[in-house]
Amino acid sequence: MSRITVEDCHKLVEAEYPLAVYFGFRTEELGEGRARVRMAYSPKLLRYGGTVSGPALMAIADFAMYLVVLTLYDYDAAVRAVTTNLNVNFLRPPGRHDIVAEARVQKGGRRLCFIEVTVFSDGDDRPVAHCTGAYALPAEGG
């Protein structure tokens, strides 16, 4: 079971994460160790060539990873977790559609949480990007 609700995520984003508001991230589904996030298509996301820019795809992937952490750990620790490493492969140019990121935990350790994210252009089941990374949980008493 997730330790956080979709509604809590919306509140956290509005209060604490202006970039997520700008990108229009919408948490669609949360479960223990998994999250699905949508970013509505908008011309403001494009880069040269009319495709959704790499940084927008990385931003939604990182956000989906953060949600996975929030589903797994005590809220006070999870909310302070920080990305230590993120690796992205860009597989195909996304079309002019919504972007959907599906994240799932690979290993939820005491100090590091490893997460995998597959990013889709809505309506196409071939991924546009694949991302792996790690969040570090705050040191106990830290």
Which residues in this chain contact a second copy in the complex, by CB under 8 A?
A: 12, 16-19, 22, 43-49, 51, 53-56, 58-59, 62-63, 79-80, 82-93, 106-107, 110-112, 114, 116, 126-127, 130, 132, 134, 136, 139
State in angstroms the smallest separation of the CB of 94 from a second copy: 11
Least Å from the CB of residue 28 to a second copy = 19
Listing DSSP states for 41-84 in one string gives: --GGGEETTTEE-HHHHHHHHHHHHHHHHHHHS-HHHHTT-EEE
Residue among 41 and 63 whose Cβ is closer to a second copy = 63
Distance CA 106, CA 113 (A): 8
Write down the least CB distance from residue 49 to a second copy, Å.
6
Largest CA distance in the chain: 49
Work out how close the CB of 15 gets to a second copy at its nearest, in angstroms, rounded to a whole number: 9
- Beta-carbon-side half-sphere exposure of residue 18 (alpha carbons within 13 Å): 0
